[in-house]
Amino acid sequence: MGYLFLAPTILGIIVFIAGPVIVSFGLSMFRWNVFEPPRYIGMDHFIRLVGDPRVRIGFWNTFVFVVLAITLQIAVGLALALAIRQRMATGLRYYFRSAFFLPFLMSGAATGIVIGYMLHKEFGPVNYYLTMIGLPRVPWLNSPHVVIYTVVLAYVWQTMGFTFIIFIGGLSNISQEVLEAADVDGAFGWRRLWYVTLPMLSPTLLFAAVVGVIGGLQIFDQPYVMTRGGPGDASRTAVMVMYESAFKNMEIGYGSAIAVVLFIVILLVTAGQFALSKRWVFYQ
Amino acid sequence: MASTTTVQGATKSTPSRSWVDFVRYRTLHFVGIVVLTIASIIVLAPFVWTLATSLRLPTESFTLPPQWIPRNPDWSNYARVFDEIEFFRMIFNSAFVSVAIVVGQLTTASLAGYAFARLEFPGREALFWIVMATMMIPLQATIIPVFVLISRMGLNDTLASLILPSLPTAFGTFLLRQYFMAVPKDFEEASLIDGANQFQIFSRIYLPLVAPGLAVLAVLVFNTHWNEFFRPLIFLLSRENFTIPLGLNVLKGYMMTGSISVVLAGVVMSLVPVMLVYAFGQRYLIEGIMMGGVKG
């Protein structure tokens, strides 16, 4: 009977998730452009992608993006979650909570459009106010040195509501007695935050870091809509390179090889985070 | 943020507290509110600007200074969205895909979650962990073979190509299993006396009891697929099959030299359903996100 209940899920997972992952590994060893029959080439694609400048820059950009975006996502989300815990009118708390969560409802595409327009070099309101206070116009989307930070900014704006809510949940799980005990022992302010609150919150921090990094490594929507990876390759991400190889250049096998590498990177980074977590995550 | 000192416990009078602490508490409280207010203005500014600019005259949409409160609201941009792209069609496509995936996932995940939580059969634990392990697989690692499969099935450039592969859900199975496990076992025993079969116990006794869990999954899944971009970009080719995020991307391309107010009007309209879901289902949305963090 149990198997009958499970059949739709298990079948679906085999056909659309587990099977395709295995096929991805297989396809990465074939040269195939859909029109001609696939040809086995062994590890050639993996050798090629190590030396492919677009792949290298795609993964490098993704690395820089993830480090900055996830750090900020956690820092800002945590700061706001801590700040909103103090005494205030219920309506005010509701306003703050909704405000910080709202961007999370927006699609990555809409975020790319809106933030892209707001950061337009000549006509965007952000540069308008910057010049008003005497600062130079920032080439948010036009400079290869700046654009990756612009992507970080757009992404953090859109997604920090998620970490914010996660941290509110984590903080509300810390027992009030522990915090009061810390108060009696004379630990408050920064000391209580550092020695009591953060260790108690560490499992939630680990969760936010793991989920954040997995999501961040797959960054695509916002930079694709804002810049299509430009200027040059300055905002091209790993997924964008995979998308272009497989679906624009019709190199199915090469695209699969990039996808396989990304998958392995995600697995290794996640495993690494869990291994490191033994040193800093504290379970009650 | 220093404001942790100001949680409820801090106001209780302990002997060590002096007026210095009181002043410090007051100051931190004030700083905290100021920081929150500034942060909320920064976070909300893009929404206000989007709405205000969508109501500006097309010729002045990019005119500086920016207008935060529309003086002469001009609704023509909203009509233009429907002229430039097949927006009605796209609303229908997005709604159809999102609702179909919601219904599909509620069905598959409630059946599987119930089996893992409440039924006894050999290999249950092993199967559960295998299903959970698939949560680690990113979309990119499956999308190329799924695309090939979809094409072979003759489903490329159809809405079904988005729906079908999204029906199984490891996350939804996990989420609903948690809810099913929380139901006291007495309910099942009571129904066994009446001679109900396994499926009736599931559908008549348990399913109504996990309604909050179903609501949580429904709002999360609706939001995800309403906003989805990567899969539709790959699977859909013809304009009449596009979903809203793809349509907005096309509209942005059309308006490169034209009026951004039209594009922003499209953005505003795309936000209406998710805002409504938030207004009515925020409890479930937030509960779902928190559950991941607390139990995961």
> Is residue A197 scored above 60 in pLDDT?
yes
Nearest C-alpha neighbor of B115 from the set A110, A113, A9, A70: A9
Number of H helices, E strands in chain A: 14, 2
* Stronger pLDDT, B67 or B96, i.e. the higher one: B96
Q: In angstroms, what separates the C-alpha of A26 from chain B's closest C-alpha?
A: 10
What per-residue confidence (pLDDT) applies to B9?
44
Give the C-alpha separation, B292 to B296, whole Å: 5
For residues A219 and A199, the answer to whether their CB atoms sit within 8 Å is no
- Identify all chain A residues contacting B286, using CB atoms and an 8 Å cutoff: 101, 165
For residues B134 and A17, the answer to whether their CB atoms sit within 8 Å is yes
What per-residue confidence (pLDDT) applies to B102?
97
Please check whether residue A35 touches B, CB under 8 A: no
What per-residue confidence (pLDDT) applies to B74?
85
The pTM assigned to this predicted structure is 0.91
Please check whether residue B25 touches A, CB under 8 A: no
Structure confidence at residue B6 as a pLDDT band (50, 70, 90): very low
* Stronger pLDDT, A73 or B83, i.e. the higher one: A73
In B, minimum Cα distance to A212 occurs at B293
Percent of chain B at pLDDT exceeding 70? 89
DSSP state of A39: E
In B, minimum Cα distance to A180 occurs at B9
> Considering only residues 123 to 182 of chain A, which have any Cβ-Cβ distance to chain B shorter than 8 Å?
123, 125, 128, 157, 162, 165-170, 173, 176, 179-180
Structure confidence at residue A188 as a pLDDT band (50, 70, 90): low
Torsion sign across C-alpha atoms A43, A47, A48, A54: positive
Please check whether residue B228 touches A, CB under 8 A: yes
Please check whether residue A241 touches B, CB under 8 A: no
pLDDT single digits (tens) B175-186? 999 999 988 877
Average pLDDT over residues A49-61: 95
pLDDT single digits (tens) A157-174? 999 999 999 999 888 888
Structure confidence at residue B71 as a pLDDT band (50, 70, 90): confident
Contact B271 A106 (CB under 8 A): yes
A124-138, B117-131, B174-188: segment of lowest average pLDDT: B174-188
> Does this complex have an ipTM over 0.95?
no
Average pLDDT over residues A86-110: 92
pLDDT single digits (tens) B258-295? 688 999 999 999 999 999 998 888 888 888 888 765 54
Q: In angstroms, what separates the C-alpha of A137 from chain B's closest C-alpha?
A: 14
For residues B164 and B155, the answer to whether their CB atoms sit within 8 Å is yes
> Is residue A33 scored above 90 in pLDDT?
no
What per-residue confidence (pLDDT) applies to A184?
65
pLDDT single digits (tens) B28-69? 788 889 999 999 999 999 999 999 999 988 777 777 788 888
Average pLDDT over residues A230-255: 94
Average pLDDT over residues A98-111: 94
Percent of chain B at pLDDT exceeding 90? 56
pLDDT single digits (tens) B213-266? 999 999 999 999 999 999 999 999 999 999 999 999 999 888 776 688 999 999
Assign 3-state DSSP to chain B and report helix, strand, coil percentages, each to 5.
Answer: 75, 0, 25
Average pLDDT over residues A139-144: 94
Structure confidence at residue B8 as a pLDDT band (50, 70, 90): very low
Q: In angstroms, what separates the C-alpha of B287 from chain A's closest C-alpha?
A: 9
Give the C-alpha separation, A187 to A174, whole Å: 16
In B, minimum Cα distance to A261 occurs at B141
What per-residue confidence (pLDDT) applies to A186?
62
A42-51, A76-85, B200-209, B284-293: segment of lowest average pLDDT: B284-293
> Is residue A198 scored above 80 in pLDDT?
yes
Structure confidence at residue B296 as a pLDDT band (50, 70, 90): very low
Q: Where are the beta strands (DSSP E) in chain B?
A: none
